[in-house]
Amino acid sequence: MKRLFIDSSVLFSAAYSSTGHSRDPIRMAAREEIVLVISMIIAEETRRNLLDTVPQVADFFNRFLEAIPFEYVRPTRQEIIEATNYVTLKDAPIVAAAKKAQADMLVTLDKKHLLGKPELASYAGMKIVTPKEAMEVNMSIPP
């Protein structure tokens, strides 16, 4: 089964809007077609950002976390420090967790820091893609 590591930008978008490609991996995970992997840091960052910008969605997000069978990984401090050689300190916990998860893809909407960085993808050992790209790949390649 395909394993997708999703970051807080995708989780935020999926919680905020029922349309768009960010919700697609959530639906697939609910149907147990894929495994979604996150870290507690990502869950907390998403919750905090929702509370700051659209607090009415925070309760939905909490139910979302309980209902979807997420797999959680926890990178070590050393793994996070190592990731700072490839990304900013703010994004190092995400990359370190994705690498530790050994997922098939890191799914993000972060064009500035994560997408379009071949050296980062090589370090993480996976493709770094948008939700739309992840769904195109998952729909066309059997597990």
- Alpha-carbon distance of 64 to 1, in angstroms, equals 21
> What is the average pLDDT score of the chain?
93
Statement: residue 142 has pLDDT above 80: no
- Alpha-carbon distance of 116 to 37, in angstroms, equals 21
Domain that holds residue 78: 3-140
- Alpha-carbon distance of 57 to 71, in angstroms, equals 22
pLDDT tens-place string over residues 105-141: 999 999 999 999 999 999 999 999 999 999 887 655 4
Read off the CATH number of the domain in which 12 is found. Answer: 3.40.50.1010
Evaluate if pTM is beyond 0.85.
Answer: yes
If you average pLDDT over residues 21-47, what whole number do you get? Answer: 94
The total domain count for the chain is 1
pLDDT tens-place string over residues 59-107: 999 998 999 999 999 999 999 999 999 999 999 999 999 999 999 999 9
pLDDT computed for residue 139 by the predictor? 56
The answer to whether 46 and 61 are in contact (CB under 8 A) is yes
Give burial (CB, 10 Å; 0-12/13-18/19+) of 64: middle
Q: Coil, strand or helix: which one is 18?
A: coil
φ, ψ of residue 38 to 5 degrees: the values are -140, 180
- Alpha-carbon distance of 112 to 117, in angstroms, equals 9
CA 19 to chain centre: 17
